Amino acid sequence: MTLAFTFPGQGSQFVGMGRELAESFSSARAVFEEVDDSLSQNLSKMMWDGPIEELTLTSNTQPALMACGIAAMRSLKAEFGVDITEAKYVAGHSLGEYTALCAAGSLSLSDTAKLLRIRGDAMQAAVPVGAGAMAALLGASVEDAEAAAKAGQTKGICQIANDNAVGQIVLSGEKDAVQAACDAAKEMGVKKAMMLNVSAPFHCDMMAPAAKAMKEALADTVFEAPLLPVINNVQASPVTDPEKLRDDLVAQVTGRVRWRESVQWMHANEIETLAEPGCGKVLTVMLRRIVKGMKGVTLNTAEGLEAFATELKG
């Protein structure tokens, strides 16, 4: 099995996330405890007991999802002898890129938790509530989405934020501009264009204040060379240089998440299986829309981790 580990972004969180791993494995519990200590917050209690309104705040969601991904990876190694280097690549969707970098040894767990808290706070504070918006275009090509965004730009900032999968593209920007882009997409015959219920317009130029905050935070953070190449959101191709990885995390805040291209690159370079550790199955479901026949595996239960390790070892 030629393998890559891929880590999800916002949207995969739910009350109870990570609880089974913590109850099953001491290695997972240790991850949640270290994240709690790093943030001086009982984040794990919020993850397991809610309330969902607090868990879905960006500043909580981001470190929570990262903690679940790292808990799964450390449990794989401690309990079943599966190391990150069994894979050829790692990748992560938006905040998931931080999880990938932590899993690959570029960032310490404590630093990753603190960076994601800063990132969540900065992204939320970058734009006044109600000023920005995001919208999903379903059934649209990249060319359709670019044309719709261009139409929206007559009203203000409007950009492709996420190129998630074939026919699944997300726009981000000023509210009136994104609405105008949706109207244009419908006129062009795009299957569905719908505004999303989000707290801020991520991955567009409105996030420039957050990018500045992350540049300052990342400048003070120790980056090591990853144990294996990272297919990052900005390049959609392998990156191993620590300084390039650092710079691209800043660019990622306002830039497009090139997830479809990242998966297609891995498929073209002989990756057969994408494993999604931590929480949910968003990336595994997206995979079906990107590459036919490529295998996706979710790793978020004790049973799932054991079955994966057994298959991997033949």
**Opening angle at CA 285, ends 257 and 144, nearest 5:** 50
Among residues 94, 106, 172, 262, the one annotated as catalytic is 94
- Strand 3-7 versus strand 89-92 pairing type: parallel
From the list 27, 203, 262, 267, the catalytic residue is: 203
What is the C-alpha R_g of the chain? 19
Cα angle, residue 192 at apex, residues 187 and 197 outer, rounded to 5° = 120
Q: Where are the beta strands (DSSP E) in the chain?
A: 3-7, 89-92, 132-138, 158-165, 168-174, 192-195, 230-231, 238-239, 273-277, 295-299
Q: Decide if 109 contacts 223 (C-beta within 8 A).
A: no
In angstroms, the CA 114 to CA 110 distance is 6
What is the signed CA dihedral for 224, 249, 67, 104, rounded to 10 degrees? -30
Residue 203 annotated in active site: yes
Strand 230-231 to strand 238-239: parallel, antiparallel, or no bridges (unpaired)? antiparallel
Active-site residue flag, 94: yes
CA gap 270, 4 in Å, rounded: 10
- Residues involved in catalysis: 94, 203
